[in-house]
């Protein structure tokens, strides 16, 4: 949450000439309701069910840069789908950066009550090992604007893909 998934994802999609998909936007499109309303009416469990369905639909579609909700990794099925479906980048931001970026954002149901900082620490502790388990690359966005993060990440991804491709199709010996 607050790591820049949507902003950076859009920039990367443009850079690579791919479609961009956001699983939260897909949920809202399918239901006609905002995420806070879904949480209010169905609770986190109902939202996570909708999230699983939306993620599966997006992953079954054409190649795209996909931004998932931060909690998508909580579901083992989602983790399997993500790991099997492409190159997974874990965008990281520490809690102080998240607090700063989300200071005026009141649309996050998980941050709607109580101590936002404590909630973000709890979520990070819960989710970090799950991200680490499936991510092909972890990228720290904390000190970067979305545009700078996207430029640096695009260069890293191009390097990763070239390296991976050279292992699969090595250059012939001269």
Q: Is 6 annotated as a binding residue?
A: yes
Q: Is 24 annotated as a binding residue?
A: yes
* 90 strand-pairing partners: 138
Q: Is 104 annotated as a binding residue?
A: no
Question: CB under 8 Å to 156, separation ≥6 — which residues?
Answer: 137, 139
Q: Is 3 annotated as a binding residue?
A: yes
Q: Is 108 annotated as a binding residue?
A: yes
Q: Is 143 annotated as a binding residue?
A: no
Q: Is 5 annotated as a binding residue?
A: yes
Given CA atoms 149, 155, 161, 167 in this order, what sign does their dihedral have?
A: negative
**Alpha helical stretches, state H, the chain:** 5-16, 23-31, 35-60, 76-85, 95-101, 116-134, 146-168
Q: Is 140 annotated as a binding residue?
A: no
Positions at the binding site for ATP: 2-7, 108
Q: Which residues are annotated as a binding site?
A: 2-7, 24, 48, 70, 108, 127
Task: Indicate the annotated binding residues for Mg(2+).
Answer: 6
Which residues line the annotated binding site for substrate?
A: 24, 48, 70, 127
């Amino acid at each position: 949450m607050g790591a820049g998934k949507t902003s950076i994802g859009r920039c990367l999609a443009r850079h690579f000439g791919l479609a961009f998909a956001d699983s939260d936007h897909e949920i809202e499109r399918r239901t006609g309701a905002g995420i806070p309303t879904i949480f209010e009416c169905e609770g986190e469990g109902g939202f996570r069910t909708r999230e699983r369905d939306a993620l599966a639909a997006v992953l079954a579609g054409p190649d795209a840069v996909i931004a998932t909700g931060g909690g998508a990794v909580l579901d083992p099925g989602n983790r399997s789908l993500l790991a099997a479906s492409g190159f997974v980048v874990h965008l990281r931001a520490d809690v102080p950066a998240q607090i700063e970026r989300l200071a005026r954002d009141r649309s996050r149901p998980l941050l709607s009550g109580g101590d936002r900082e404590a909630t973000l620490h709890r979520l990070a502790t819960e989710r970090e090992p799950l991200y680490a388990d499936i991510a092909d690359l972890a990228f720290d966005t904390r000190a970067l604007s979305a545009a700078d993060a996207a430029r640096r990440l695009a260069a890293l991804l191009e390097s990763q893909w070239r390296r991976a491709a050279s292992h699969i199709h090595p250059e012939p010996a001269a």
